[in-house]
Amino acid sequence: MKKFAAWAILLLGVTYFVLPLIGMTEFSLSMRRGEYSFDAYAKVLADPQFRQTFGYSVIMSLMTIAVGVLLVVPTAFWVQLRLPQIRPLIEFITLLPLVIPAIVTVFGYIRLYNTSSWLPLTGSLWGTNFLLLMGYSTLSLPYMYRAVDTGLRAIDVRTLTEAAQSLGAGWVLILARVIMPNVLVAVLSGAFVTFAIVMGEFTMAALLNRPAFGPYLQLMGANKAYEPFALAVIAFAITWACMGLFQLVTRFSKHTKAAG
């Protein structure tokens, strides 16, 4: 009886999750009347705007990951080594982007850095891109920081640092050659989540008027019949790949820890 109920619940749940995925895949394949085809995908892939926005978002994702690594790894390392007493505070700050909705943050950007302000970032293309990059970095901060912090806790930061120092290494060398390789797996897992978030992000890019993948998706949804569903399938595949790799990396890191 209990087992039956458990199966029933699971099957109902799975049905709820699978139907939309089937629905969107089915729609994406039905561009040609009466038979399944990849026409919608061909149309999408041939669209120059798709390539531009997709490329833009890929580049932005990679840059967000770079900013995240450069910002989070040294900070988490320094906190662990020298300022362990303020770790709860830093942790709290890194969780704030989950509390403050993205739409509010970007609203603040637009008002704070507009053309008549002290730092007119939205006045230039370069500045707006930079602002969006910073916005994405705040979004990825909770995930990046937690991943790196967990990675750092698993190694003996103090001993490694002192060993490196006694061999004459400076801070940059310690971070790049000693700490980074040790938390690489953690950084990777943060990077995959960041990639998935940035690729699908809509609000910030739309309000800052940058040609990213998210706003493009929304635009297609409002104007085209079948292409949006092909795009949705592609977006789901990206999310799936990123999160799959994230799980793989996380599991891999557990194995190495057990072995060491």
Partner 1 sequence: MRRFRPSLTWLGLLPFAAFVILFLFAPTMKIVFGAFQRADGSFTFENIAGLFTPSILSSYWISIKISVASSALGCLVGFLMAAAVILGGLPKGIRSPLLTFSGVASNFAGVPLAFAFLATLGPLGLVTVFLKTQFGINLRAMGFNILSFWGLTITYLFFQIPLMILIITPAIDGLKREWREAAQVLGATGAQYWRMVALPILFPSILGTFALLFANAFGAVATAIALTGSSLNIVPIMLFAQIRGDVLGNPHLGYAMALGMIVVTATANVIYIWLRLRAERWLK
Summary count for the chain: helices (H), strands (E) = 12, 0
Question: Pick from 27, 63, 123, 150: which binds partner 1 (CB under 8 A)?
Answer: 27
**Three-class DSSP category at 210:** coil
- Give the DSSP per-residue string, 65-124: HHHHHHHHHHHHHHHHHT-GGGHHHHHHHHHHHHHS-HHHHHHHHHHHSSTTSSS-GGGS
Region binding partner 1 by CB under 8 A among candidate stretches 32-40, 48-56, 161-169, 234-242: 234-242
C-alpha to C-alpha distance for 225 and 213, rounded to whole angstroms: 18
Report long-range pairs for 216-222 (Cβ below 8 Å, ≥24 apart): 216/49, 216/50, 216/53, 216/54
Mapped onto helix, strand or coil, the DSSP state of residue 201 is coil
149 binds partner 1 (CB under 8 A): no
Q: How far is the CB of 249 from partner 1 (least distance, A)?
A: 12
Please identify which residue in 32, 111, 153, 254 interacts with partner 1, judged by CB under 8 A: 111
Which residue among 23, 55, 120, 170 contacts partner 1 (CB under 8 A)?
Answer: 23
Sites for partner 1 among residues 175-194 (CB under 8 A): 193
Task: Return the number of the residue (109 or 260) whose C-beta is nearest partner 1.
Answer: 109
- CB nearer to partner 1: pick between 154 and 206: 206
Q: Using CB under 8 A, which of 64, 138, 140, 253 touches partner 1?
A: 138
Closer Cβ to partner 1, 212 or 260, answer by number: 212
Interacting positions 64-93 with partner 1 (CB under 8 A):
71-72, 74-75, 78-79, 82-83, 90, 93
- The least distance separating partner 1 from the CB of residue 30, rounded to whole angstroms, comes to 10
Supply 143's token pair: 């995930």
